[in-house]
Amino acid sequence: MDVLTAVRRAEPPSSTPPLPKPSTTQLSSVKDKISSVMAERPEDLNLPNAVITRIIKEALPDGVNVSKEARRAISQAASVFVLYATSCANNFAMKAKRKTLNAGDVMSAMEEMEFERFLQPLREALEAYKKGQKGKKEASEQKRKDKEKKNSIDENDKSRDEEEDEHMDDEQEGENEGEEEDVEN
């Protein structure tokens, strides 16, 4: 049952007059809007099974097996948690009149969801991520500088080679002129 059907079946409170039924074009417009926001299938909202399996294996000691049903239940629970945390974080971003979620929104969402014990590990993970990104940026910048330096050295060598070639050509022309003078004498 889709959202619109559920809304239509719900009885309005007795104090309010019943709502007029929307036209077909209005319904299709609403469905289009919902489709553009929501995933096409509920399975599209699940986290990748390979990622869930890897996390489960890393969390458990060696030799512990997890059934397929348990992995699926963990996957669905993780997906619901991520969606709920994202929704809460989005509310904080909307209150701040922003469209982009940031780390502060996620931290506030965790507090609102009463997961305060995760805040410190999250902060540590965020700090490690920022350091890693800074290191990558510095390495990329150094690589770019080294490449520019190599290119400028290559250009200097090239211009030096061209100057030497011109100098050699001038010397050969001078020798050729000297030979012509000897022939005339």
Q: Are residues 38 and 95 in the same domain?
A: yes
How confident is residue 150, by pLDDT bands cut at 50, 70 and 90?
confident
pLDDT of residue 30: 47
Q: Quick one: which of 114, 135, 111 has its CA closest to 123?
A: 111
| Residue-level length of the chain | 185
Q: Are residues 105 and 145 in the same domain?
A: no
- What is the mean pLDDT of the segment spanning 18-41? 53
> What is the extent of the structural domain holding 160?
118-185
- Domain assignment present for residue 2? The answer is no
How confident is residue 182, by pLDDT bands cut at 50, 70 and 90?
low
Which segments within the chain are labelled E, that is strand? none
Q: 78-95: per-residue pLDDT in tens?
A: 999 999 999 999 999 999
Q: 95-142: per-residue pLDDT in tens?
A: 999 999 999 999 999 999 999 999 999 999 999 999 999 998 888 888
pLDDT of residue 120: 95
Q: Are residues 125 and 102 in the same domain?
A: no
Q: What is the DSSP letter of 115?
A: -
Angle, CA 154 vertex, CA 150 and CA 145 arms, to 5° = 20
Q: Quick one: which of 78, 76, 105, 112 has its CA closest to 90?
A: 105
3 pLDDT exceeds 50? no
Residue type, 168: M
